[in-house]
Amino acid sequence: MNRATRDNGAARAAGALALALAAWTVAPAADAGPAGVLPSAPLKATVIHWWTSGGESAAIKQFADAYNQAGGLWVDNAIAGADQSRATTINRIIGGNAPTAAQFNTSKQFRDFVDEGLLNNVDDVAIANHWDQVMPASILDAIKFNGHFYAAPVNIHMPAWFFYSKSAYKKAGIEREPQSFDEFLDQLGKLRAAGLVPLAFGGQVWQEKIMFDAVFAMVGGRELYLKVYRDRDVKAVQSDAFKQVLLNFRKLKAYIDPGSPGRNWNDATAMVVSGRAGVQIMGDWAKGEFSAAKQVAGRDFGCFPGFGPDAPYIVAGDAFVFPKTDDANAMKAQKLLATVLTTPANQVAFSLRKGSIPIRTDVDDAGFDLCARLGIAIIKDKARQLPNPEMLTTPDVNGELQDVLTKFWNKNQPVDEAQKAFARVIKR
Amino acid sequence: MKPMTRKNLVVWIALLPMAATVLLAYLGTMLWSARMSVSGSRTFPSYDFVGAAQYMRLFDNERWLLSLQNVALYGVLFIAACLVIGFLLAVFIDQKVMAEGVLRTVFLYPYAMSFVATGLIWQWMLNPELGIQQVLRQMGFANARFDWIVDQDMVIYTLVIATVWQASGLVMALLLSGLRGIDEELWKAARIDGIPRWRVYASIVLPMLGPSLSTAFVLLFVMVVKVFDAVVAMTQGGPGTASEVPAKFIMDYLFGRANVGLASAASIVLLATVLAIVAPLYFVRGRASRLKEA
């Protein structure tokens, strides 16, 4: 559409112009101010992020306060919407007014930045603080390229937790958490027999993808998952094992309610909170909805990251990157930020409010809820960590896989066709 | 050639910002998009040359082709419905009804509101578990069914309904001003000849509304091409990909999927389509008015 491009182009041009003007008008004023002449002026850090909801902004405030206490000056640039926030970062870098730090998901989203040489590395901080030893391998793989650390990871989200309502489970006469996918399907049947919506689900493409990846990791297993997402193995996609993954994924469709298409994830969570639905497969950010309703993990709702004690634990999360700059003060600010963001105490303070778990394995888990404690324990086991697909594929490929899966989920597409479509995207 | 007078110069200077905007912001970015569409740009613009690779990929993309189909179906229905309803509303108000000002405002009001907000309300109303269907069932119609918005085959019609509600007021306003421009004498003459009212509207008034209708058409057409907010607010392109439209495709690839090259190729295809449809229309209109003058 010509308008979209035009608007975008115009917005970029206008944005660059506005920024240039702002820099021109603000800079002299700042120099003239009393802070500008003091030698010990605080290290100013402009930070772009998309954490705007109640819990999220409480969490990021922990980092801001810690940074200010460490002798910095945190300039908060919160932008609603992840896409919008990332677009702003890109535009500001192109426009020559890069922020000190900017949020991305711990994924391939910032890989192009690294390739174009647009980021400063934080090797000093990473080596001094032994990131290699304290952080999970899948996180390190996502931030470390050619031996350099290009981002400071701040949290781990596991996107495919199972949250269930204790009252719903009781009503359906289910006594234990499922140990296999078949047992899970059996429980969903019981929930339906009890007159409940078995699976709370929001029919939006990204939620469909999350549910698929959960089934993929559980049913297909670690090896197949990595073969498909990491190695782009077309044969693996055409295998019978992968066919079973797709078929099992679509089996879940029998357990959702007719109102699910287009529903937001938090509306689906509300169905579990109220006990109207049995279980939801969603990232650990859903805990915020439960705690907002004064529900406690283990008492009102239960959580399990998969079936059985060896279930894979999908690792995702957020990270801050540090756009290239030659300004000595800005570089100092970037290093201080990287340190503050990854310090154990700040890590705990942040994740407690965010609903995630810390990126370090050497933290005290005392203050966390049941689910997070479970996650912190699991993440220490290397064999259970599984990288999020977004860490293994580009945003482009990931998006097209969403298109393939949403078609398979919503239309009665033959499974062979879906396999072919999946393979075509993977091959690209 | 006329010598440049002082007044002329002032006019030209006053026009400069406008000309610069058109050249830079419109033509410039259009050319830039065209350049991007033959590059392999991902997150950042790059200036390599990959030929028609992005276009080939685009027309190999099922979702893009589906988006084009969807927008074509949507466009035909939306424009037809808006023109018919807008015309009927205009005729209705033209009957010297009471409280005309109030009614005009009421009909035009949806157009003044952001569709991001009203789209959400439409979404709730159409949701089978919250909206109209649920209300009907609570009123005792246990078998009432209105679940188009979650139905693969019907969802596109819900977009038509909601956006027709929004835009037909605009058509009404345009056609009403056209109707008001028609000479009273014409009505008197028709009455003397004993021609029925509907016949006057159909055979005399409607052809005279030609310019207003074509303006309305162009405005509606532009709305069709850029339809985005309605989809995002109501269906997010779903269920599945059943209500995907080209504008959403472009926005998704531009930012979320970090593929500036493919998004630019899609924009250029869309621009070409628009030109192919609107240019002949303008050509015919221009010729018609020249013929009239001659």
Rounded-to-integer distance, Cα A4 and Cα B255, Å: 12
Rounded to an integer, the average pLDDT of B264-271 is: 95
Residues of B in contact with A410 (CB under 8 A): 152, 238-242
Amino acid B27: pLDDT = 92
Name the residue among A4, A6, A262 with its Cβ closest to that of B26: A6
Interface test with B, best of A3, A5, A206, A417 (most B CBs within 10 A): A5
The pLDDT value given to residue B294: 65
User: Which ipTM score applies to this complex?
Assistant: 0.84
- Cβ within 8 Å, pair A6-B25: yes
Q: Do B267 and A2 touch (CB under 8 A)?
A: yes
Residues of A in contact with B43 (CB under 8 A): 90, 112-113
Check residue B262 and give its pLDDT.
96
Q: Read off the pLDDT of each residue in A300-305 and give the average, rounded to a whole number.
A: 95
Does the distance separating the beta carbons of A262 and B149 come in below 8 Å? yes
pLDDT above 70: residue A212 = yes
**From the list B30, B236, B240, which residue is nearest A2 (CB)?**
B30
The predicted model gives A322-335 an average pLDDT of: 94
Contact A157, A283 (CB under 8 A): yes
Chain A residues within 8 Å of chain B (Cβ atoms):
1-6, 8-10, 13, 83-84, 86-87, 90, 94, 109, 112-113, 116, 118, 203-205, 257-262, 394-396, 398-400, 403, 406-407, 409-411, 421
Q: Among partner residues A260, A262, A395, which is closest to B257 by beta-carbon distance?
A: A395
Cβ separation of B128 and A259 shorter than 8 Å? Answer: yes
Does pLDDT of A6 surpass 50? Answer: no
Contact B128 A258 (CB under 8 A): yes
Q: Report how many Cβ contacts below 8 Å link chain A to chain B.
A: 144
Q: Is A123 helix (H, G, I), strand (E, B) or coil?
A: helix
3-state secondary structure of B294: coil
For A151, the token pair is: 């981002």
- How many angstroms separate the CA atoms of B92 and B103, rounded? 10
The architecture that CATH gives domain A161-315+386-427 is 3-Layer(aba) Sandwich (3.40)
Q: How would DSSP label each residue in A282-339?
A: E-GGGHHHHHHTT--BTTTEEEESSSSTT--EEEEEEEEE-B----HHHHHHHHHHHH
Question: By CA distance, what is B271's nearest residue in A?
Answer: A2
Task: Return the CATH architecture of domain A41-156+317-380.
Answer: 3-Layer(aba) Sandwich (3.40)
User: For a pLDDT cut of 90, what percent of chain B falls above it?
Assistant: 54
CA A217, CA A159: separation in Å to the nearest integer?
A: 12
**Residue A217 contacts residue A189 (beta carbons within 8 Å):** no
- The residue behind tokens 């990287």 is A338
Residue in chain B lying closest to A263 (CA): B235
Residue of chain A whose alpha carbon sits nearest to that of B151: A261
Q: Which tokens belong to A319?
A: 């990270």
Q: Which of A176-180, A200-204, B194-198 has the lowest mean pLDDT?
A: B194-198
Q: Is 0.90 topped by the overall pTM?
A: no
Provide, as residue numbers in chain B, all residues whose Cβ is less than 8 Å from the Cβ of A270: none
A161-315+386-427 and A41-156+317-380 share a CATH fold: yes
Report the residue of B150, B156, B221, B264 to disrupt the A interface, i.e. the one with the largest count of A CBs within 10 Å.
B150
Which has the minimum average pLDDT: A38-42, A45-49, A400-404? A38-42
Could you tell me the pLDDT band of residue B184, with boundaries at 50, 70 and 90?
confident
Which chain A residues are within 8 Å of B255, Cβ to Cβ? 83-84, 86-87
Residue A8 has pLDDT above 50, yes or no: no
CA dihedral B74, B80, B84, B89 (to 10 degrees): 40
Q: What average pLDDT does this structure show over B157-175?
A: 95
**Extents of the domains making up chain A:** 1-29, 41-156+317-380, 161-315+386-427
Q: For residues A119 and B233, what is the distance between their CA atoms, to the nearest angstrom?
A: 35
Of the candidates A4, A395, A411, which has its C-beta nearest B256's C-beta? A395
Q: How many CA atoms lie within 13 A of B78 on its CB side?
A: 30
- In order of their start, the domains of chain B are 48-293 (1.10.3720.10)
Interface contact flag, B152 A399, Cβ < 8 Å: no
Model confidence band, residue A252 (pLDDT cutoffs 50, 70, 90): very high
* Amino acid, single-letter form, for residue A244: Q
pLDDT for the residue B3: 57
Cα nearest neighbour of B43 on chain A: A112
* pLDDT recorded at residue A24: 41
The pLDDT score that the predictor gives to residue B4 is 57
Q: Which of B32, B255, B274 sits opposite A2 (nearest CB)?
A: B274
